[in-house]
Structure 1
């Protein structure tokens, strides 16, 4: 004799089926979002700013802060053995430019270059949400204007179309005037 299903049993089955569908849809959505956001790729929010302090005679101290923050919930690491790099470059801007001249951040005479990765003993780990502040002090002559550029490059373990190691990079720049 076949038992007739009650309304309660039908509702229970429908709820179980909806729960299963919701779990599958939620899992698919999470996987899609994970892939869409770069899965376990890295990113870093960097800023660079400077302050000029008196030193002696016609020399000034340029105090540079390179601040970086890992906004992701994954750790990434820069390793010198993997040919990653993290540097600060100071370039002098020409003082005799004409109106309308555009100075690119990689133009000008290099006054100083600091390997920030080397300063960290060759390895630099950025934990999830970590904020770092790398400070450097550089002696400069008074009366010049400089471009400060912080570069971070990480090799991602793949090769490009030419078979050379592929890398991703982030760069940030600012201009500072070293007043007399």
Structure 2
């Protein structure tokens, strides 16, 4: 039961997987080519594509949706994560106003945050996507690059002062509040 949203869904891999756990899942991506491919995957159940192995060397592969997934539960649309369609958002207002909340039980944004031109604008909208008690899942490599996000909009991953030699953790700013925290008991961070 429930409604899930996959923002930055690409060709829909995670969107289809969410359909194992939610009655309705919507995938949203900025790329028309990705949404076209995702819709073809929904329609056909598989899609043949060419990938580069090395240099000019390519190979043909087939991506397929697991047969146990009900593809009818999934839909896809183009959209901008930094300016989400109004139909996805709650009405705004105060936190005590139920209309301020969205309708989604879960929102997934995987490998998206550090690829947006304005990640703060995206994050500011997230509360309006979720029902009370809903879950927002952000997964990011935090590999900020100016090709996607202007440096003045990075949420972290830079040094506070130009005089820093790059070695001081205190002088750096990170978007991830506790790097490696989930693994601390099992693994040692090697830098």
Instruction: Give the TM-score normalised by the residue count of structure 1.
Output: 0.20
Q: Is the strand fraction higher in 1 or 2? A: 1
Instruction: Give the TM-score normalised by the residue count of structure 2.
Output: 0.20
User: Greater RCO between the two (CA within 8 Å, min separation 6)?
Assistant: 1
